[in-house]
Structure formats: structure tokens, C-alpha cells
């Protein structure tokens, strides 16, 4: 797996990452969603450098300008519900991308820390021979991403696979490296310290879905 860490140098990305973590601004859901969206835009720009381009001639009022345009067919897929603001950020840049949405959640059958991943709702475009971009803000254990990936592969075979996460743990990355193909690209905005005993990211930011859309029952 090719891993791209985006926050190692100083940039406005770190400014937005700091705000989404800050408990003093967590009561502003609109600001949280917008910052996740802006992080998605930055990540989309960085990911765009790995895409394939075709030459293009543009007619301007005064002449012809040679340039390039994205050649790849993109399918942008997010994990509901926390992935929606990140999805929008990517869509702001990849405006011709087809789209997909998948629901996945932790199911605790014994009401303890053990859980499995339940993947239910799916609505996605044809992914065969296209570039699949799977986005989810939090990469904790990695089990959700792997479960969603396996479900999507039942629908077809992409040409390339890119996975974009805002915050990741070493444990989650190791799980993806063990279970996903070597030619996958993993884009990480920020690498955190660890998982705690309840499989939550430390220091993390809390529940991204709750912060964006309110607490769920």
C-alpha cells in the first residue's frame, strides 16, 4: 500500500485539523462540517497529482492554449453519515465524478467492547475500470474500511483505488496493509497516537458523525 501523509509540513491543512479537534468549537456543527469539507478539498488537490491527464487545447478569446484535463473516470464513495462533509469537499474539486454511498456501523452483540461491522445501504455507480475514491473521516481499527471495500468489490473491479481519511491510527493503517491490495493509495491528513481500550482514536476528536449532525440514538 502506498501511504501519503499530508500534514507533516506546515500548511493551512493543520489549521483546519486543529479546529476540528478543539473542544471549544465543537458546539458549532456548521463550522465542523465546513472544516471537514475544506480538508476534503485540500486532500482532493493532493490526490489529483496522482491521476492521469490528457492533453487539451482551449479556445480563448485571443487564441489557443494547450493544457491538460483529468482523463480518469472517478467514482467518489463515502461511508455514511460521517463521510458526507468530506465527500462534498472532494466533489467540489472532482465535479464530474460519479458518486456512491455506503452505510457501515459498529455492532456490539454482547454490549461490551467487542464489535463487528455491519454494512447495509449501498448506492453506487459502476466502478469497473474506474478510479474508486473511498472517503471516511476516521480510520480507527480499519475494520469499517475493509468491510466496505469487500462489499464494493462485489460490484466490480476498479482500475485504481484511493482511500482518503482525515485522522488515522497506526493500528488502522496496519489493518489496511494486511487486508487491502498493495496497489491501493491511502491518503492520511493526520496520523494520531493510538487506539484506546474501547477502540477509539487518541487524541482523536470524538465522534465525527455526531459533531457534524448531532448525537444519534
For each of the chain's 217 residues, which pLDDT tens digit applies? Answer: 999 999 988 999 999 999 999 999 999 999 999 999 999 999 999 999 999 999 999 999 999 999 999 999 999 999 988 999 999 999 999 999 999 999 887 766 777 777 777 888 888 999 999 999 999 999 999 999 999 999 999 989 999 999 999 999 999 999 999 999 988 999 999 999 999 998 899 999 999 999 999 987 7
Nearest residue to 172 (alpha-carbon basis) of 203, 146, 150, 209: 146
pLDDT at 107: 63
Kindly list the distances between the CA atom of residue 10 and the CA atoms of 6, 13, 41, 71, 200, in Å, as whole numbers in the listed order: 10, 8, 17, 31, 26
H-type alpha helices, the chain: 12-21, 29-48, 84-93, 143-153, 170-179, 208-213
Angle at 89 (CA atoms; ends 83, 90), nearest 5 degrees: 90
Q: Which domains does the chain have, with CATH numbers?
A: 2-213 (3.40.50.2020)
- Residue listed under C-alpha cell 492533453: 55
Instruction: Find the Cα–Cα–Cα–Cα dihedral 28, 43, 55, 2, rounded to 10°.
Output: -160
Amino acid at each position: 500500500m502506498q501511504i501519503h501523509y499530508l500534514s507533516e509540513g506546515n500548511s493551512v491543512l493543520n489549521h483546519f485539523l486543529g479546529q476540528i479537534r478543539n473542544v471549544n468549537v465543537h458546539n458549532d456543527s456548521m463550522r465542523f462540517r465546513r472544516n471537514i469539507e475544506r480538508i476534503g478539498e485540500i486532500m482532493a488537490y493532493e490526490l489529483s497529482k496522482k491521476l492521469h491527464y490528457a492533453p487539451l487545447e482551449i479556445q480563448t478569446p485571443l487564441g489557443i492554449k494547450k493544457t491538460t484535463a483529468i482523463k480518469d473516470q472517478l467514482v467518489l464513495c463515502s461511508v455514511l453519515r460521517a463521510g458526507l462533509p468530506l465527500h462534498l469537499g472532494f466533489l467540489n474539486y472532482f465535479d464530474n465524478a460519479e458518486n456512491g454511498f455506503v452505510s457501515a456501523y459498529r455492532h456490539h452483540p454482547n454490549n461490551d467492547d467487542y464489535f463487528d461491522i455491519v454494512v447495509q445501504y449501498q448506492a453506487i455507480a459502476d466502478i469497473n475500470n474506474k478510479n474508486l475514491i473511498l472517503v471516511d473521516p476516521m480510520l480507527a481499527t480499519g475494520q469499517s474500511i475493509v468491510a466496505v471495500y469487500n462489499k464494493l468489490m462485489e460490484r466490480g473491479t476498479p482500475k485504481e483505488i484511493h482511500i482518503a481519511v482525515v485522522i488515522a491510527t497506526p493500528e488502522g493503517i496496519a489493518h489496511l496493509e494486511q487486508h487491502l491490495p498493495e496497489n491501493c493509495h491511502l491518503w492520511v491528513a493526520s496520523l494520531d497516537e493510538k487506539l484506546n481500550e474501547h477502540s477509539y482514536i487518541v487524541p482523536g476528536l470524538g465522534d465525527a458523525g455526531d459533531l457534524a449532525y448531532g448525537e444519534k440514538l
